[in-house]
Structure 1
Amino acid sequence: MKLNRLAGLVWAATACFFSCALAQPGGDSLGATLTRISTREAVYLGYRETAQPFSFLLAGQDKPQGFAWDLCEEVIQVVQQRLGKNIHVVPVPVTESARVMMVKSGMIDLDCSGGVNSVARQKQVAMSNTIFVGEHRVMVRRGSGIERFEQLADKRVAVLNAGQAERFVRQAALGRNISLQLLSVNSPVEAMTLLLRGDVDAFVGEDVMLAIQRAAQQADLVLLEGGLAAEPYALMFAKDDASFKKLVDETLVAMMQSGLFARVYDKWFVLPSSSEHAALGLPMSPLLKAAVQAPNDKPVN
């Protein structure tokens, strides 16, 4: 009888230990990610060293910066409030090919480098509400007379041989029943040289990449309105942790409703934020404005 009673007390104490470990002061379940962060009093944030303006590391500095990194810092402020303690931030460099594995294995708690939210990716990890919508767009010389895609008929168009720009251009041309001359190049610098020299009439690629190239060369170039294809970007974290996803998404929604999200966006995509970061001149697109008005985590196929 005494043994049964003792066993019951041990079971009750064990159950209390785990339930207390997984509960916040208010009594709600923290979930695996917040519990892990609370236990070690540290959060591991993934960043890419050269993914401007989402996350990057300047030479001689040990703290990353960028748009997605700033959003993550706001999330960590909420994490600290939720846990009622200071949390040490540990930046962890990641690569495009390894970051999903690093999230799944727990090597990082939150990926702050900004990544495409796709159906395939959501099968492996969780994605936040949309923080950016990348578009493949057309860039031309100012005064060229080209104001819409249809005017590229019989024109010379540069695309990178790595990536999806060529496919998107061919699809758009077929859908509009026009023909054009595609020139596949090895690098953005090569494409910019051809465009500025007049050897091609347009350069098609991801809007952020185009804006970075334009800013770097201080070139008088124009991004045409409207994109050929769109991809939502999001923060990435462990799958099947409803508590952490709720915290991340609610933090982003609060930022969007207060106007803080727009200010952080302008800092990195519109205005020059430092001597090392030129103004990209890339205001919020209609697609991103819609995602801010109606936050969602819908993936692209």
Structure 2
Amino acid sequence: MILLSRLLRPTLLVLAALGLGGYAWAADGPSLARIKATGVVVMGYRPASLPFSYLDDKLKPIGYSIELCDRVIAALKLQLKLPELETKRIAVSSATRMPLVANGTLDMECGITTHTAERARSQAFSITTFVTETKLMSRRADAFQTLADLRGKSVVSTIGTTSIQHLHAVNEQQDLGIRLIAGLDDPEAFHLLQTGRARAFMMDDVLLRSLQAQVSGGEGYVISDRALTVEPYAIGLSRDDPAFKRMVDEVLAGLYRSGEIQQIYKRWFESPIPPKGINLRMPMSEAFKRVIANPTDTPDPAFYR
């Protein structure tokens, strides 16, 4: 019990800051009711999306998104009076993450999923947890800046992402003749660039920087200055359980208001992270600072520009 109290101390502070110390979340929603009945909460994670959701050297899921979801689970243990609540972790990919949320397999998808209006038709999203932009990575000798620069060339992105959807749409609208290649995940897509099968890799800026930092010879690649799209990340949730979404949002908003999000952010984006001690040296964006000051769950890209 002493150990549990230590683990929950940050969550207790967040709940106090929110005025939720005595608040009883309704357990009549499907997710909360199932969690309370089974004693299990199911989290989806990405195996190789550093620094958000990935496996450490002991094959344990860790990362920024995982830490945020762990804070939610700590709050569940406290509010549902389930100190022994079990967390079941299921690996997901770009292709499987949203179907597993929609069909109820996952209570939370804790990875790198962009909240869009289209996706919100099939699932719900927490308040925004990170804001990034899509850009192009290419060899330093090419240094492509726009999709127009890639007319008639091969470009890779990851299957099931907003990046590949945008790439396909612009390619058709502008008749660029780009040959689209789909990687099964971000590391595979990057490998296709490294081996010369693609001339550029379109993906979220933070993920491109993460991949670049993890490989020998990363300095041989450059990321475009110009952003192509804005991507607000959020935790994926069931569309049919507003009570659970409200609970998740309250915990996240508490981290924002208490200022604890600053330390969490610094831990994953401005400090050496396991297992290799990579430091992305990415200061918090102005867009995310605005989200912290005024939490929102809007998918509208214009809000973040």
Q: Secondary structure at the match of 2:299?
A: coil
Paired residues for 1:39-78 under 5 Å: 39-58=37-56, 60-61=58-59, 63-78=60-75
Q: 1:95 is matched with which residue?
A: 93
Q: 2:210 is matched with which residue?
A: 212
Kept in 2, the 8 Å contact 1:117–1:127? The answer is: yes
Aligned mates of 1:256, 1:105 — CA distance in 2: 30
Q: Secondary structure at the match of 1:296?
A: coil
Paired residues for 1:118-197 under 5 Å: 118-138=116-136, 159-160=155-156, 163=164, 166=167, 187-189=189-191, 191=193
* CA shift in 2, pair 1:75/1:226, >3 Å: farther
* CA shift in 2, pair 1:272/1:92, >3 Å: same
Identity %: 29
Q: Secondary structure at the match of 1:115?
A: coil
Aligned residues: 265
1:268 is displaced (CA, Å) by 2.1
Bigger radius of gyration, 1 or 2? 1
Question: Which TM-score applies when normalising by structure 1?
Answer: 0.70
Aligned mates of 2:132, 2:295 — CA distance in 1: 16
Aligned mates of 2:150, 2:86 — CA distance in 1: 57
Aligned mates of 2:228, 2:46 — CA distance in 1: 26
* CA shift in 2, pair 1:31/1:95, >3 Å: farther
1:100 is displaced (CA, Å) by 2.5
Q: C-alpha root-mean-square deviation of aligned residues, in Å?
A: 3.9
1:121 is displaced (CA, Å) by 1.6
Kept in 1, the 8 Å contact 2:131–2:230? The answer is: yes
> For structure 1, which runs of at least 5 residues remain unmatched after alignment?
1-24, 175-179, 195-199
> For structure 2, which runs of at least 5 residues remain unmatched after alignment?
1-21, 159-163, 184-188
Q: 1:286 is matched with which residue?
A: 286
1:253 is displaced (CA, Å) by 1.0
Q: 1:227 is matched with which residue?
A: 227
* CA shift in 2, pair 1:259/1:165, >3 Å: same
Q: 1:266 is matched with which residue?
A: 266
1:55 is displaced (CA, Å) by 1.3
1:234 is displaced (CA, Å) by 0.6
Question: Which TM-score applies when normalising by structure 2?
Answer: 0.70
Kept in 1, the 8 Å contact 2:171–2:177? The answer is: no
Kept in 2, the 8 Å contact 1:158–1:204? The answer is: no
